[in-house]
Structure 1
Amino acid sequence: MSIFAVPDMSCGHCRSAIEKAINAVDAKATIQFDMEARRIEVTSAVANADLSALLEKEGYPNTLVA
């Protein structure tokens, strides 16, 4: 499990875009959203660096928190 701070995530469209992008590379990934804190918790077989790069590519700068 990894936690990413995604400061530009603010609405349902953001959530949908992030889910779609992560599920495209790992259909078995689980994603939990904390929209107020603007963080996502991801459990995936994909490396953290690759997830971070994927979020960046989708337009969501991020920082790995844990």
Structure 2
Amino acid sequence: MTDLIVEEMTCGGCASAVTRAVQRIDSKAKVDVNLQTKQVKIESSQLVDKLIEVIADAGFPARAA
């Protein structure tokens, strides 16, 4: 399980964009977004750095929690 903080995520559309970005590189990834805490929990076989990269490429800078 990977825990990330995505500060610029403010709405359901943002959460969907983050989820889609992760699932583009791992279609089986499980993504749990908490908009209040800006936390994203990801269950994926991808490395943390790659997850952070694809989320940032979608316009949402991320960092490890």
TM-score, shorter chain, exceeding 0.5 = yes
TM-score, with normalisation over the residues of structure 1? 0.93
Equivalence map 1:41-60=2 (5 Å) = 41-60=41-60
TM-score, with normalisation over the residues of structure 2? 0.95
Is there any run of 5+ residues in structure 1 with no aligned partner, and where?
A: none
Q: How many residues align?
A: 65
RMSD of aligned Cα (Å)? 0.7
Is there any run of 5+ residues in structure 2 with no aligned partner, and where?
A: none
Q: Which runs of 4+ in 1 moved over 2 A?
A: none
Give me the whole-angstrom Cα distance separating, in 1, the residues matched to 2:33 and 2:45: 18
3-state DSSP class of the match of 1:3?
strand
- Identity fraction in percent: 25
